[in-house]
Amino acid sequence: MIQESIKKLAEYGVQKGLIDECERVYAINQILEVMDEDEYTDPKVDLKDIRLEEILGDLLDEAVKKGLIEDSIVYRDLFDTKIMNCLMPRPAEVQRKFKEEYEISPEKATEYFYDLSRNSNYIRVDRVAKDMKWTCDTEYGTLDITINLSKPEKDPKAIAAAKNAKQSSYPKCLLCMENEGYRGRVNHPARQNHRIIPVTINDSGWGFQYSPYVYYNEHCIVFNGEHTPMKIEKATFIKLFDFVKAFPHYFLGSNADLPIVGGSILSHDHFQGGHYTFAMERADFVKKFTVKGFEDVNAGIVKWPLSVIRLQCKDEKRIIELADHILTAWRGYTDEAAYIYAETDGEPHNTITPIARKRGDLFELDLTLRNNITTPENPLGLYHPHEKLHHIKKENIGLIEVMGLAVLPARLKGELELLAEYIVDGKDICSNEDLKKHADWVDEFLPGYDKVDRDNIMDILKEETGKVFCRVLEDAGVYKQNEEGLKAFDRFIVTL
């Protein structure tokens, strides 16, 4: 069994272009070493319809039997990454091939790199495919809704091992260059099958890679070569456009640089981008305006639940200058009537989530105004999902959500399925500890449906979940999309 799996894995490597035919024997010997095997008989096996997930599963089962690893998702992930390293081209070869493809076109280069990241199992395609995905039509456009199932749950034994493991500061975080080829440990994922493309933006060294969890097509991460904190400044806009100029088929955006409204990793300067059109990009202007001295830049407020200023111009340098002017103004802006405070007790509150892209012959920059002030009624943030919506989403609203894609917690899959059963069977939702947080929500939307049965209940729950996400985004908006909110927005625009 083990020999058949090794032969299939080597064939997979050849078929996917991870190794050349002349490297087959070498790769087999590398896998034999990882599996602690001395013999190989070149067995006869069917090499059609090879499935990587099945091959790795068989090899992992054998590794457990041989006592090479514990039967735990954490140890299995560490070990199958070590196995895949036997098929991986060296970083220099990946960079050479990327450069070669880039000379044909940027699209060819990213297509090659994305395929490599998928075929190497760095992006675990089988897990990503398990994510629940659907859309929800709203007044702002069609939002993308996902329930993230691709991050595996750690078992108690692995959690205990991670707690007791020797603490290490290498690599300093998940975004550092030093992750490339790292073997991993119980509290840090293995990255032997991970490759990074060096890129130069704003005359400094950065890395380009794909997210292992790909929430959308070609979801990439561009990160500083140095472990330095996130900071939104003029240089941020320069960096975003430097990348977009090099890869005009990709957008690139940054999380905000303050807690609550920022991303999950504020300690390492990075951006996220990809080859995908979000609802935010499709949204049109609700009002246009002109800033004195920047008459050549098309500017306006976007019809979007968050507060977005869109700038367009053929010359990205003009956009950068105006964006810096807006950022500086927003950092110091206070409007007590709208409950916007630049700072309280010396703590800054105002920042921006920027997204850059190319639209035809125009460069475009969306500036999402953010504020992380808290109140006694909203201790997690006034411009953050309010408590009433926490049964669906209470995590920070980062870049991806800002653009209109919900990344909802894995718990919701089971909760929605069980909730469907309770609703159809007429059971008391409050009697279930995991479901009672949804009871008020169900009471609110259920009367609006004439027919509710087993055939349509999941569609109803998905639709209503999408509506909740839309309200989550509205909560995160500093200025609401109503008469009062737009008037307050205008008061800021006038200061420009």
Per-residue model confidence as pLDDT tens digits over 140-163: 999 999 998 877 665 555 555 555
In whole angstroms, give the CA distance from residue 413 to residue 328.
42
Spatial contact of 157 and 141, defined as CB atoms under 8 Å apart: no
pLDDT at 46: 86
Beta bridge partners of 256: 262
Model confidence over 226-239: pLDDT tens digits?
Answer: 999 999 999 999 99
Residue with tokens 């201790």: 379
pLDDT at 166: 66
pLDDT at 266: 85
Question: Rounded to two decimals, what is the model's pTM?
Answer: 0.94
Model confidence over 288-339: pLDDT tens digits?
Answer: 999 999 999 999 999 999 999 999 999 999 999 999 999 999 999 999 999 9
Residues in the chain with pLDDT values less than 50: none
pLDDT at 224: 97
pLDDT at 240: 98
Mean pLDDT, all residues of the chain: 94
pLDDT at 160: 59
pLDDT at 253: 98
pLDDT at 29: 97
